[in-house]
Amino acid sequence: MAVPAAMPASNPSAIFSITPSNGSLCTTTWAGTMESSSDEEEARTFVQVLGEKYNPENFPYGQGVVVLSSPPGSPIKDRLFLPSALVLNHCGITKAGDRSDIAAFCAHVVELDLSHNQFNDWGEICTIVSNVPHLDFLNLSMNPLSSVKLEPSMADVFSGLRRLVLINTHISWDSVHTLTQNTPELEELFLCLNDYNTVSESQKSCSSLRLLQITENQLQHWAEVRKLGMIYPSLSTLVLANNSVESVDDSQETLQLLFPNLRSINLNNSGLSKWEDIERLNFFPKLEDVKAKGIPLLQPYTTHERRSLLLAQLPSVVVLNGGAVSHGEREDAERFFIRYYQDCPEQELPQRYHILVSKYGHLAPLAEVDLSPRSTMVDVRCGEKVEPVSLRLEQTVADLKKQLKALLQLPTNGIRLFYIDREMCSVLGPEELKCGSRALHSYGIRDGDEILVVPKVKSRCSSSDI
């Protein structure tokens, strides 16, 4: 059988030669789940774990792995069919393993997830990455990288990365800058849960980065966020959620220069407490998507007031807190804003109020209309007995039957109810209340109308039944 040629890197799966140092297929005995392997005393290597996970014996029905026979006399004994996205998390890996084996396994790998392992040596990580020539995405989250420094001389192996995840690694800013300075195509960087309370400045900016997610850190002062704008001048998405950023403290000119391409910012659960901070977001020239839930500023307001007041303050935003903003909603919010502030003293009126008044004029207050269901007094008739009863019109027909059960001493499934509109009874006649889940107010019941109770059994109601 002929040996297929290696498939292009763009293909989601590729065929690789497996030529370990001993000349045989790189496999080891499968010993339960990958999680249990972390308890082994000896160091686990990337090559070892990869061989275990993609061992054909673990795929008896050929799912994910195909072993192809080689031509007679071929120096390559076997070939392995592997996905281009490898997930080797929670495997207890500490070392890379043999370089030639990595190259054989991973010549066409594009995405590599090594999160939740035990890497604490950049040399081992670099050994792996240097032998994965088409690597685009690398996830190193939850590896203990706080006490190790990435030397600039080693960092060029990361040059092809476009997405890099370093969540909860506690990686130093020096190592972050070394990485970004050597990844000219890097577009997405994740630095969450690293306990940063400051941002170290970099001698060289990373102009390729489009998305920075730095949630769940300890950033408090806008001066630190300002550094992010200088380091990553091309950012279009900045996720600052669950930090303690207290304010937006720069002028219009500064904010325009720092974040000229910013289209989306996430400030959920930050410390913003002044409307001036929201107003300054308008200084970002391309901002159109804002998230600002859970901030102290909005705590005193209702849900409707929060969204309306935010919308009115952010005229260029088209997505607010994950929800698209329609033209009608924006107009309603801006009109609400005018009415909300129009009784305030002149010195307390926000600047946005005057802009909106020039657009819509001074608006009359909205009339308060109570649309809540009310109570009404009706006559309940059972046989010859008539009893005035107060009904809560928000209750359902089933609720009414329960109410009348005690009054009539009849089971709820033993009666039929009819509504009689006294003004229209000569035309419409009685209307049976059949639907137990229907609210009484939907029938248009009014004071003086009548509810007729008809037992399903033949016995008549006596005076003692009322």
- List Cα–Cα distances, 456 to 12, 180, 406, 412, in angstroms: 70, 81, 17, 10
Q: Among 36-45, 119-128, 173-182, 337-346, which is the least confidently predicted range?
A: 36-45
Query: pLDDT tens-digit profile of 41-93?
Result: 467 999 999 888 877 666 655 554 444 444 454 333 344 557 899 999 999 99
Q: What is the pLDDT of residue 407?
A: 77
DSSP 282-300: GGSTT--EEE--S-GGGTT
Side chain identity at residue 350, one-letter code: P
Query: pLDDT tens-digit profile of 150-181?
Result: 999 999 999 999 999 999 999 999 999 999 99
Per the model's pLDDT, the better-predicted residue between 129 and 24 turns out to be: 129
Nearest one of 174, 242, 253, 180 to 211, comparing CA atoms: 180
Q: What is the DSSP letter of 367?
A: P
Sign of CA dihedral 304, 308, 311, 313: negative
Q: What is the pLDDT of residue 414?
A: 74
Q: What is the pLDDT of residue 83?
A: 85
Side chain identity at residue 119, one-letter code: F
The answer to whether residues 240 and 265 touch, using CB atoms and an 8 Å cutoff, is yes
- List Cα–Cα distances, 342 to 305, 309, 313, 333, in angstroms: 15, 13, 15, 14
Q: Which domains, ranges and CATH numbers included, belong to the chain?
A: 1-194 (3.80.10), 245-369 (3.80.10.10), 375-465 (3.10.20.90)
Q: Which two tokens stand for residue 365?
A: 């207050």
Looking at the predicted structure, is the pLDDT value of residue 288 above 80?
A: yes
Query: pLDDT tens-digit profile of 250-282?
Result: 999 999 999 999 999 999 999 999 999 999 999
Per the model's pLDDT, the better-predicted residue between 417 and 150 turns out to be: 150
